[in-house]
Amino acid sequence: MLVETAHFLLSRTPVRPMIGVICGSGMGSLAENIVDAHCIPYEEIPNFPISTVEGHHGKLVFGHLNDVPVVAMQGRFHYYEGYPLWKCCLPIRVMKLLGVKTLIATNAAGG
């Protein structure tokens, strides 16, 4: 399943990301700074869950930030949405198969 998903993504973009970014709440606009962006909606990606959280765009954005190849998740998946944990982690495992060496995870937190 992971390999199938990775092969699909590699066939859709020439970008081979070194860095993966999980855009948490309020950070989705970071992906708007990606140069030469290739956007792939989650619903088009085999085996990918679909984000149900309001404000999460639900797409992978491939491109470059400061000349570094990246992939950013605009929208993520949560256990409380009813997804099993393995499905919530699937995008991260796929990123590894795409060549990602560094993962940056962001979130909104308050107290």
pLDDT the model gives residue 24: 75
pLDDT the model gives residue 52: 64
CATH number at residue 49: 3.40.50.1580
pLDDT the model gives residue 23: 86
Residue with tokens 């030469």: 36
Spatial distance between the Cα atoms of 94 and 66, rounded to a whole number of angstroms: 23
Q: What is the mean pLDDT of the chain?
A: 89
Spatial distance between the Cα atoms of 11 and 28, rounded to a whole number of angstroms: 24
At 13-66, the pLDDT tens digits run 999 999 999 987 777 678 889 999 999 999 999 999 887 666 557 899 999 999
Per DSSP, what are the bridge partners of residue 108?
none
Q: Which structural domain, as residue segments, surrounds residue 14?
A: 2-105
Is residue 110 a part of any domain in this protein? no
Is residue 111 a part of any domain in this protein? no
pLDDT the model gives residue 92: 95
Structure tokens at 46: 């085999």
Handedness of CA 99, 7, 41, 88 (dihedral sign): negative
Is residue 8 a part of any domain in this protein? yes
Number of domains present in the structure of the chain? 1
Is residue 71 a part of any domain in this protein? yes
Which of 111, 110, 105 is CA-nearest to residue 24? 105
- The answer on pLDDT for 111 being more than 90 is no
Is residue 37 a part of any domain in this protein? yes
Per-residue pLDDT band at 71 (split at 50, 70, 90): very high
